[in-house]
Each structure stands twice: as C-alpha cells, then as structure tokens.
Structure 1
C-alpha cells in the first residue's frame, strides 16, 4: 500500500474509532418506507401514500411490476396495484434500495463519475443476485436485490473523503487501494448504523471472503457468486478463482463443470431485471 493510501486508511479508521466519521444517511423516503414495512398492521394504501410523494420512484416501481421479473398478467398503471402485485415486503425493499441512488452523486466530476459507476455496479450485482435467489435458494429475492444494492455502500464515505482531500483525489492508484481495503468493513459498519438486519449487515464485509462459511446458502453467497460471475471472461484476478472449491457455489448447488451453461440460461433474466431497475 502506498504511503498516501496508508495515511488515508489510518485517518479514516481513527475517525471511525472516535465516532467522528460522517456516515451517509438513508434518504427520508427510505426511512419512512421502512417504518411502514416494520409495522405488522401496515396497509397497502399507507405504503402507497408515502411512495407516491416521489413520482420518479413510483414510476420505477410500476415499471418493475410490468417487467419480466414479475410477469404480470395485465399491465399495471397505478402504484396501489403495483404494490398489491409485489407485496408490501418486496415493494419496501425495492423502494429502499432504489431510493439510495440519490446518495451516489457528488459535486466533483471525478468523484461523481466514480459514484455513478458504483451505483451501476450495484444494480448489476443486485439483478444477478435476485435471479440466483429465485432459482437456487429459498432466500427472498427482494432481500437479495437489496443486498446487491448495498454491498458496496462502504465506498461512499471514502469517496466523500476524497472529494475533500485533493492529494487523494488526484491519486487514483491510492484511492483504489483505500477503497479496496476499507469498503467491506466500512459498509457493514454503515448498515449496522442503519439498523439493517444482521444477514444484510454481513454482506459488505463477507462477499469477497472466499472462505466464507455458512450452514446453508445466505445473502453473502449470492453476492459473492454474482460478483465472481460478473468477471467471467475478463482479466480480473477474481476471474481466475477455482470456483468448484468455493463454499458459495457449493451451497447454491452450482455445478462447476456446468456453471457457464447454467449462468448463460439466466443471463437474459438478469439483464431484464437490470433494465427494469433503471
């Protein structure tokens, strides 16, 4: 690690220990949606009333309902019907995840570009994760999607830090090193502060842990497999991993000898999901 990268890493870690690091906060609408979702007596009209305050978010939820992901028998044109088709839990996780997009923006062009790339990556992994969840596990596809959308949330405070420190901003090599080393643990730290469920809190810090262990397939497995598959055919170091030896693939029941064929069959579905989320 470069001297600058080590210095920045030490500085951010020190801020975390002193509880001085400015963490991203969930958008107001995401907080209100979650509050309704956690109410056992919540109704569709209650959730609809909150989401309707954000026309863009409402339109995207309707778009998802009309996508191949849901396979509705007839077109849905209003938010209430969309929520009824999706269910309160699915809609809530979807709304919370999509509302986060506004967090991935910055005033500086370099950081703004990186944040938008980070969000695009999150959308890609989220789409693949929900497909894997539906076909290979009993896990909730909407939770898998949310796990994908937040798996790199730890990059946000690092990029925000870089925006205010020109030495790091102008040293992409050091910035990449800091992002690589810190974003997993920082991501889990953020999700814990947001009071996300433990199975999602573990995702950022575990999705790159190739020795991750679990009794059965979990959301860390889904994000790990989706991530590794995304590098298939590239020159990225993770593309050279022997996947047949990984617990994540074994727990999902993916045959190492047939994984390419299996994944190709699901690629179209994952791409359709990603298009629906845009």
Structure 2
C-alpha cells in the first residue's frame, strides 16, 4: 500500500471512529448561523452575538465601510453594518472572518505552510468574488466563503504529518500526500461543520479538472475551480494552456483560459478590494 493510501485510510478510519482531530468552527460562527437560520431573527439579535467579540466587531465594521460595500454614510455600529449587508451576507462574512483562526499553526515547523495556505485561500476568495459578481446565479458572499474554505482539508493532514518528522522534512512527499488527500478530507470537515451541500462540493470537487457541473449552468464549484487555477497563473503550479483549455468551468463561466482576473483592467480594482477584506487581520 502506498504512503498516500495508507495515511488516507488511517485518516478515514479515525474519522469513522470519531478519533480524527478535525478543525472546529469557532463558537461565534455557529451562534451566528443559528440566529440567521431563524426566520424571525433580527439584526439586533445578531449584533448582540457579534459584539461579544471586539475583534470580530471591528473587522465587520471595516468590511462594511470598505469600497466593496460602503454606502454614502459611514457605518459606526455593528447593527447598522448588519442592516446594510443583510443577515445572510453577515453569516457568510462572519464565518469567513473567524475561519482564519483555524489556519493558525500548532508548531513552528508548520507556521510557514499554514500562513501560505491562508494567503492562497484569501487570493482564491478574492478572485471567486470577482467571478461571481459577473454571474447572475452566484452570490458573491457565498463565493467569498467558498474560496476561503476550499482547501480546509489540508489542515488535518499537516496535523498528522507533524507526528512524523521524516514526512515533515520531505517537502515533495508531503506535497504529494496533500494533493491526493485534501479534497476528500475537506469535504469531511465541512460535513462535520454542517455546511451546505454546495460548499461541501466545492471542497470535494474543485481540484477535479474533469468535473462537469451539468447543463444547468455554472455553479459555485465552477467559480472556485477557475479562481483556484487563476491564482496559480505565473507560478510553477500553473497548468499548461492545453490542459487549462480542457477545464469546462472556464467555458461555463465565459472566461478566457489565458487571462487571469488581475490582468483585466476592469476587474483589478475589484480584486484588490476583495483581497483587502481579509489581509492584515
């Protein structure tokens, strides 16, 4: 049995037995989700929860006053920010803002990997928002969250690898394990977090270059798949043009396979604003 299959089978066995250490969704995100799921929920109720976390409140106000969402009047209260953004958008935004806690490294050896993973997730999130803004059936706040959590499955693999010094020192072997395992593990995490099926699909399928979302039109996974591939433009992880051209998500979204979102003048400012939402926190 290969090293990849052995580790994958071990993780699945532990998952089935409830022994696998999965990242936990911060309590405030769970409370916010519970309130928003109540049809009678009010912005005041939601504000009361968010204001228990001073840092989160400040982040939400920063986003509400950012170029992406600001109105003509500066927002200076959490409840006003919620009213401006809407309950469902705030739910996804809060989840996105607090999920950074999950990416905090548990050891010095993993610090750079965790930091690079979070930065990559921010970039995919920003590109996903720009792409979603051009689609009539994809909400930008859902695309934002989907981009942030698309690679969440990497984290338990790093945690397990931390127990194997030889694996941690073998960068190429660890990269191979991550590449083969993280989508399936990510889907398991989002199921444990009780996320929606479309977000679970993003984690499970965004790296599947043969995926076909069907005749209904582009879906959230198509958006994140293209955003993920675009984030690798001009890097050593970029797909060759022929392979990229065969990815159906580009065609479904009407996006040129040879142009990244940051290379388009009309999108560059929007991308920069979306990127700034989660940087420097």
Structure 2-normalised TM-score?
0.91
Please report the RMSD computed on the Cα atoms of aligned residues, expressed in angstroms. 2.2
For 1:92-130, what per-residue CA distance to the aligned partner results, in whole angstroms no more than 9, with x for missing partners? 100011111111112311212211221111111111111
How far apart in 2 are the matches of 1:261 and 1:157?
31
Question: Which residue number corresponds to residue 169 of structure 1?
Answer: 168
Distance 1:88 1:213, change over 3 A: same
Match of 2:220? 219
* Structure 1 residue 6 displacement after superposition: 4.8
Change (3 A) 1:22 1:245: same
Write out aligned runs for 1:132-211 (5 A).
132-211=131-210
SS at match of 1:136: coil
Structure 1 match to 2:278: 277
What SS class does the counterpart of residue 42 from structure 1 fall into?
Answer: coil
CA contact (8 A) 1:228 1:239 kept: no
> Residues 171-203 of structure 1, C-alpha deviation per residue, up to 9 Å, x if partnerless?
222211111111001101111111111111100
Asked if 2 retains the 8 angstrom alpha-carbon contact of 1:67 and 1:273, the reply is no
Structure 2: distance between partners of 1:140 and 1:8: 36
Q: Cα gap change, 1:226/1:261 in structure 2, threshold over 3 Å: closer, same or farther?
A: closer
Partner SS state of residue 112, structure 1: helix
Counterpart of 2:266 in structure 1 is: 265
- Assess, with a 3 A threshold, how the Cα gap between structure 1 residues 87 and 265 changes in structure 2: closer, same or farther: same
Structure 2 alignment gaps of length 5 or more: none
The answer on whether the counterparts of 1:93 and 1:142 sit within 8 Å (CA) in structure 2 is yes
Q: How many residues align?
A: 277
TM-score (norm 1): 0.91
Is the Cα contact below 8 Å between 2:143 and 2:223 reproduced in 1? yes
CA separation in 1, counterparts of 2:24 and 2:144?
A: 20
- Runs (5+) with no aligned partner, structure 1: none
Contact 1:5 1:175 in 2 (8 A): no
Displacement after TM superposition at 1:244 (Å): 4.0
The 1-side partners of 2:159 and 2:218 are apart by 34
- Give the direction of change, closer, same or farther, for the CA distance of 1:261–1:75 in structure 2 (3 Å limit): closer
Deviation for aligned residue 1:249: 1.3
User: Post-superposition shift, 1:85?
Assistant: 0.8
Q: In structure 2, what is the Cα distance between the partners aligned to 1:120 and 1:178?
A: 20
Task: Indicate if the aligned counterparts of 1:233 and 1:239 stay in contact, CA closer than 8 A.
Answer: no
- In the aligned structure 1, how far is the partner of 2:165 from the partner of 2:30? 33
Cα shift at 1:267: 2.4
